[in-house]
Amino acid sequence: MSFKAFTLTLALLLVSRAMSLSELWSYNSAGTATSLTFSENGNLGVSSLDSCAYVFDQNGNLLNKTCGCWNCYMGDVSYCCGKFGFINEDNKAYIFYENGTLWKKVDVGSHYYHSAITIHSNGFIACRSYCAYLYFNGTRKWNVYVGYVENGPSIHANYVYAADINGKSLCVLRLSNGAKVKEISYNEFVYDTATCSNYLAVSTLHHLYLYDLSDPVNPIELWSSEGLNYAIHITFSPDCRYIAVADYNNKKLKIFDIRGELVLEKGYPNEVYSVAWWNDRIAVGLNSNEFRVYKIVFDQIQNTATTISTSTESESTQASESVDETGTQIPLVALAVPVIITLGRKLKLL
């Protein structure tokens, strides 16, 4: 039997982009890189269990190495507004200019504040069992008990987002006075937070969560991803399109897109402790006292034209995976761009 019908024919241009990493340089210190962060110009700050703070330029040249007291580990590093900030178990924050020059040391008061740091325009937030906002002259603006914070909290608008590990919760604090305005509970340890635009990412023992911060006090969960094993550090890409995760016990770097799809997974012989992202550079800290800096490479683009007509059958485009020579699984992200070819064309269907 034959009949006539009006159909809409769409051409889909499928663009497959494979993300991979090309190593630029690496460095071995006397301790694990507990935290990594890039500056605006691509200099890299590294806090280490050997009690030292390191600052490197884009090419891996060491600009400064400054150490705290013997057997006092350098727990965290942060960057904002032209300054690196490091926190040490000697109860001091080490503040560097972007070029690696040590500006000053600020006494944070006690061990209640010596594990995590977040640099801000006028000062910094230092945390452990408490979080305190201190000006660069050492004056304390506020302090509040939070539980146990190991990684520097994130700041968005006028709010602070701190991961309380032992309390298995996300604490939302008011930046102006430290008041706790919200607490979100989880059923497992909470390790790190990151913000970018109106997004908040939270990592727990086995999950990665993404929230919408349109209302900063009441984050709205967009999705969560399973399969992690001690997601100790997370960071956004500068354009907020990707989230990188240091998946410690799985010994992997994982990168998710903003929809929650895993787009890159790279394994290592040692645990992955820390991660940072700047432009097309990713830095990864390993539990072998080594950290590596990579360039992100998008491989050759492949185009495929597909024509779809309206019918009782539907077709879907699926992302495929490839494996590079190092054994790294690289899912291919297919982007479909519809173009109207014909509208109302009469076809004879047999």
pLDDT value at position 71?
Answer: 86
Q: pLDDT (tens digit, 9 = 90+) per residue, 125-154? A: 999 999 999 999 999 999 999 999 999 999
What's the rounded Cα separation, in Å, for the pair 85 and 187?
A: 32
Taking residues 261-288, what's their average pLDDT? 97
Cβ–Cβ under 8 Å, residues 285 and 274: yes
SS3 111: helix
pLDDT value at position 346?
Answer: 32
What's the rounded Cα separation, in Å, for the pair 176 and 165?
A: 24
Lowest average pLDDT, out of 55-59, 80-84, 194-198, 307-311, goes to 307-311
* Domains, the chain: 3-14+303-349 (no CATH), 21-302 (2.130.10.10)
SS3 113: helix
Among 107-116, 180-189, 292-301, the range of highest mean pLDDT:
180-189
Q: Which pair of tokens denotes residue 152?
A: 């520097």
pLDDT value at position 312?
Answer: 34
pLDDT band, very low/low/confident/very high, at 18 (cuts 50, 70, 90) = confident
Measuring CA to CA, how many Å separate 303 from each of 207, 297, 316? 34, 18, 17
First to last CA, the chain: 6
Cβ–Cβ under 8 Å, residues 245 and 231: yes
Q: Which pair of tokens denotes residue 180?
A: 């706790």
Cβ–Cβ under 8 Å, residues 244 and 254: yes
Backbone angles phi, psi at 197, to 5 degrees: 55, -125
Say whether pLDDT at 257 is over 60: yes
Say whether pLDDT at 65 is over 70: yes
CB atoms within 10 A of CB 345: 12
CB atoms within 10 A of CB 326: 9
What's the rounded Cα separation, in Å, for the pair 157 and 319?
A: 36
pLDDT value at position 300?
Answer: 54
Q: Has this prediction a pTM greater than 0.85? A: no
Q: Which pair of tokens denotes residue 128?
A: 């452990």
pLDDT value at position 333?
Answer: 39
Q: Which pair of tokens denotes residue 335?
A: 């982007």
Cβ–Cβ under 8 Å, residues 289 and 30: yes
Say whether pLDDT at 286 is over 60: yes
What's the rounded Cα separation, in Å, for the pair 121 and 81?
A: 6
Return mean pLDDT, the chain. 85
What's the rounded Cα separation, in Å, for the pair 152 and 139?
A: 19
